[in-house]
Structures are given as C-alpha cells and as structure tokens.
Structure 1
Amino acid sequence: MSTKWPKLEYLPWRDTGSALHLYLQIAGKYRLAHTPWLNHSWHATFYVRPRGLTSSIIPDGPGIEILFDFLDHRVIGNSGDGREASFSLQPMTVAEFHGSFRRMVAELGGTPHFDGSPNEVLDPVPFSEDHRDRPYDRNAVQDFHQALVAIDRTFNKFRTAFLGKCSPVHLFWGSFDMAVTRFSGRRAPLHGGGVPALPDDVAQEAYDREVSSAGFWPGGGGLDYPAFYAYAYPAPAGFSSASVRPDAAFWHEGLSEFVLPYEAVQSAEDGDAALLAFLQSTYDAAADLGRWDRDILECGLGEPAIVRPADAA
C-alpha cells in the first residue's frame, strides 16, 4: 500500500476548501434528514473511499448513495434500483450546487427535502441564497483527497488497538474535520453547547460520554495551516501540560487542544509513525490522567490476517 503524504498548502486551497465544505454540508444535511439518529451524530458523516468521499446508503426512496468523486470531479448519485445521476464539481455558486444536488436526488427517486442553512459556520447564509462565485481548484482537491486516504489508513490502524467503544473513522461535514474518538465508558458532564449555528442539544448529545478524540482539519477555524488535533472531554487535570509526541506537537491555548501541523507528518521520514505517535501519546495522557480502565479497554495494534487472541487486553 502506498504511504504517500502529499504536500498541502492552506492559502491556495482556502477558497476551494470553503466551497467544498458547504457542498458537503448540503449532501450531509440530505443524509441527516432521512437517516435515523445514531449516537454522537454518527449517522450523518462521510467516509473516505479510493475516489473521494461517500455518504454510504441513505434510506430514502430506493436507497441512495452520494459520492464526491475527486478523481473525475463529479458528484455521483446511485440508487438501489440501478439509476445513476451526476453533475460536475467546478467553479459555481453554493446556490447552483444546491439546485443541481436537489435535481439529482429527484432523478434518483429520492425526496430532496432537508434543512437549507449551514451549521457550525459564522454568519451562515441559506444555501439557496448564497450566490457568491466559488472557485474549484482540481489539483488542491486531489491533494486533499490523497491526504485523507493516508489519514484514514493511519487512523484506522490506531483504532485497532482499542476494545472499548470507538467511533468509525469519519468526516464531519459541520466542522469539516476527519475524526476518530475513543470512549471511557463513563458519562460526562453536560456540555455547555455554544457551537456556532448548531443546536445545543446536538452538541450535548455528542459529548454525553467521556472521550479522547483526535482528528484532522484542512485549515481554518483558528489555524492557517492544515493540522491534526487531539482533546479530551472532560479534560482531566494536568492534560494541557502532558508530554506528547512528536516534538512538533504542542498545546494550543486558543483551541484548548493539542495540535500537530500536517507538515510535520508529511515531511517526516515515516509519516504514519509520526502520526501514530501523536495519536497514542495524546490518548495516553487522556487515559492516564482521566483514570480510564486501560487493562480492559486496550489491546495491541491489529495486523492483517492475524486473529487477536481472545484473552488479549
């Protein structure tokens, strides 16, 4: 398997990334409107695929899957009765994308009804009213996708070493981040909410259990560069001063999270190992300081074609 970590530059990607964020919100809100609620909003996310990002099957009409194809630069819909429809990813307005997406869903036999305003962005503009011209840089999107493939590989490797409740590796379209989250099994204090353009009860349900979470942002939201992050909720005493790896990782006071610039992974001799060190060391800090029952919750990293011993922990 390729271990390529492409270079990512934030400024050339920023406007295209902002547009793609809103396009994913439109498709994600369609999935949200038709899929039964699953804990921590796991029913609404996207998943990395060799060609891009998929919604998985949405239970609407004959069953519909949405694929953002970042190789041919198209949004492709497939239905359970064999229909396929698509349209191009190209420079356009959010309103144009919104209209094209709704028509595509209707062609597939679905019901294109869903909430029409963005979440988790400042000063949200309804999709149908956002007529600002948006760029679409194909090369930047392809680099972003290649990075997601590498991140998905490493996050899923990390996920194999946990026996307790753990999220899938998935991309949240609200915050536009890719994440994997481990759970201690204990309840957490009620979250205070306050996320921009997001109902408090959604945030409170998302954080109703203790977590150690890590993820990736392509830039924005307080960072002018792509980066990995890690946090604990609730953060145990001493978490912010914990020693983490690799050397480029640091505690970001503004975000109240550990941050590792993507460039430190991309430029490392072994990018996978550098990222795994960040994931493991930040989890170690959360689990040790939070007094998680690590003997029960953990096991060794999984290996292909090797069964984990039933008594291994």
Structure 2
Amino acid sequence: MTTELTRKLVVFACFLVTAVTLIPVVMMVLVAFQSDAESMAATPSFWPTSWHPENLERAFDLVPLGQYLLNTVIFAGGTTLLETATAALAAYAFARLEFRGRGVLFGIYLATLMIPTQVTLIPQFALVAKLQGIDTWAGMIIPHAFTALGVFLLRQFFLGIPRDYEEAARIDGANRWQAFTRIILPLAVPAIATLAVFKFIGQWNNLLWPLVISNTDATRTIPVGLQAFQDTHGTQWNLLLMAATVTTVPLIVIFFLTQRWFVRGITMSGFGGR
C-alpha cells in the first residue's frame, strides 16, 4: 500500500468519523426550527416542512435565557481563571521545588482523580451551606477552582522545559517568582490554554453542582435553565433544542479561537514530560 493511498484512507476515515459525530448536531439545529406540532409528533421528522426562526424569540421569552448565558459565563470563566492559576502554582512546585515526600504527595494528589464527583458532592454542599455560600457566586465557583488533572497536565509540561532557562534567569538576578512568571509561564501558554479550554467547556456543561447550589435565576446556569422547557404536558423539543443551539455557539467560537494553542497543548503536555 503506497503512502499516498494510506494518506487518502486516513483522510476518508477522519471525514467519516467527523460526519457521524456531527449528525446529532445537525439534527438538533433542524428540530430547533420546526413547529410545535411537528417537533412533538409521534413519528419524528427531522427536516422541517416549514422553517420557524421565531422559535429563537420564543425561547428567550419563555425563560430568561440571556441571564442564564451570563451566569454560565461567570461560572465557567471564574472557575477557569482560578483553576489555571492554582494548577500552575501547584504544578510548578511539584516540577521544580525539591522537598521531602514530593513524589508521595503527588501520588496521593493524583489518587483523588479516582474519586467520583458524586462521592464528594454531599460534603462539599454541607461545607458550602455551613459557610453560607448557597446561591452565591463564591459557593459555586470556589469548590471547583482546584483539580488534580490540571496540576498533572501542567506539571508534565513544566518538566519538559529545560532548567537552564531558569538558571540563566537566576544568574541575572531574578528570584524564583520572577523566573516562574517571566520564563515558565510564557513558555507554557499552549498547556495553559489547553487546560483553560477543557475547564471552560466542562464547567459550561456542568449540571450537577449548579443544580444543587443555585436556587434562583440570579445564579442559575444554562444546563439547569434548560429544564424550564419541560412541563407536565411534555417537553417543548423545538424550543429546548433552539436554546441548546444558542448555548452551543459560544463553545464553537471559543474552540476555533484557541484551536492552535489547544492542539499544541495536547501534543506537548501529555507526552512531553520527562
């Protein structure tokens, strides 16, 4: 098999996988423009017989979708900023600082990844409630501002950065903090961008924690707000999927804007450590 034929087969396979992956997205958009009767028919028809762009206005009128979008941006953005900061500091400590028990501590830290989120949900809720953080931004954001996965990702990248860069900076008079902020962080932009994209997308789609901690529209996020399209008479599928389409657009835009850094971070972070 020639190299050219292999390349064409790989391209075709990637195209096929992409097409299959996009089928649910295309169906979501098509149903979003259907009429109420057509979207709730016993026999589904995914291609609209008539297009109803007014479903977008109806979705915003039914629930405060704009408020939910703003709340989701605050929640996802706040957790992303805090996690990238805490993960970068912890990863630098595990990658560069020499202290007794570093390896054991890092192993214990990574072991927390095996604990399901549902196990820690009740203790987190009890702690936040005791601190009077229910239905507040601090109560929603701070418990999700730390993750072992982010520390592991950035630590692997930091280990791939030669120590000579830092040593040269230290010789020139820079302290450890200056070496970290002026040498390490600029070189780690791809890994940090990758972590930020992962975290933002994960928190944008987070349903469980906002569902538990938020009680009003002031802090309610999009995944929780989409439940408003369900009532005792059934689910308004066209309006629900229209709202879901609107909330998917920001993620698509963010991914394309950060695609270059995202691909570099995936390539270098997971396998670049020594």
TM-score by length of 1: 0.24
When Rg is computed on C-alpha atoms for both structures, the one with the higher figure is 2
Kindly indicate whether structure 1 or structure 2 has the higher relative contact order, using CA contacts under 8 Å at least 6 residues apart: 2
TM-score by length of 2: 0.26
Larger fraction in strand:
1
Larger fraction in helix:
2
